[in-house]
């Protein structure tokens, strides 16, 4: 089996396993961080530079950490696509698929003399676990 076929198998398994998330709504901490966040809102008056000086989230006087890169990605996502959970989940699915490909490629480099089917199995186990 060629490396392209193995990569396709990894991406298809990730899509089948987690593709159902595309139909989910925002959940748990998304309500505090992503949905209706004054820093990442499209109609807000916040600039992307302000994200690097603010807390991750503020709720009732409680401040949740400092994660400017996360806020910046939400800011860009909301300004390009609007505030929609479907797009957020699609981006996460794409990033997860790329991560699984990187895991497989890393294993190939690390274990050069190992059968690629074993590395495929390990990557698939990681992907669906």
pLDDT for residue 118 is more than 90: yes
pLDDT in tens, 7-53: 999 999 999 999 999 998 888 777 667 777 777 777 766 678 888 88
Instruction: Express each pLDDT in 59-76 by its tens digit.
Output: 677 777 788 888 888 888
Average pLDDT, the chain: 86
Residue 2 pLDDT > 90: no
Say what the pLDDT of residue 16 is: 95
- Residue 29 C-beta-side C-alpha neighbours within 13 Å: 5
- Predicted confidence at residue 109, as pLDDT, reads 95
How many Cα atoms sit within 13 Å of 28 on the Cβ side? 0
Start-to-end CA span in the chain (Å): 24
Listed in order, strand segments (DSSP E) in the chain are: 57-59, 62-64
Sign (positive or negative) of CA dihedral 46, 51, 52, 57: positive
| CA neighbor of 10 nearest in space, from 91, 93, 87 | 93
79 confidence band (pLDDT: 50, 70, 90):
confident
């Amino acid at each position: 089996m060629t490396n392209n076929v193995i990569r396709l198998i990894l991406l298809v398994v990730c899509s089948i396993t987690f593709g159902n998330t595309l139909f989910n709504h925002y959940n748990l901490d998304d309500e505090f961080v992503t949905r209706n966040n004054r820093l990442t809102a499209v109609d807000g008056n916040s600039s992307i530079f302000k994200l690097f000086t603010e807390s991750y989230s503020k709720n009732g006087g409680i401040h949740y950490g400092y994660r400017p890169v996360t806020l910046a990605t939400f800011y860009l996502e909301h300004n390009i696509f609007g505030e929609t959970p479907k797009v957020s989940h699609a981006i996460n699915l794409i990033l997860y698929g790329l991560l699984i490909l990187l895991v497989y490629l890393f294993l190939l480099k690390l274990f050069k003399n190992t059968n690629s089917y074993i590395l495929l199995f390990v990557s698939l186990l990681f992907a669906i676990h």
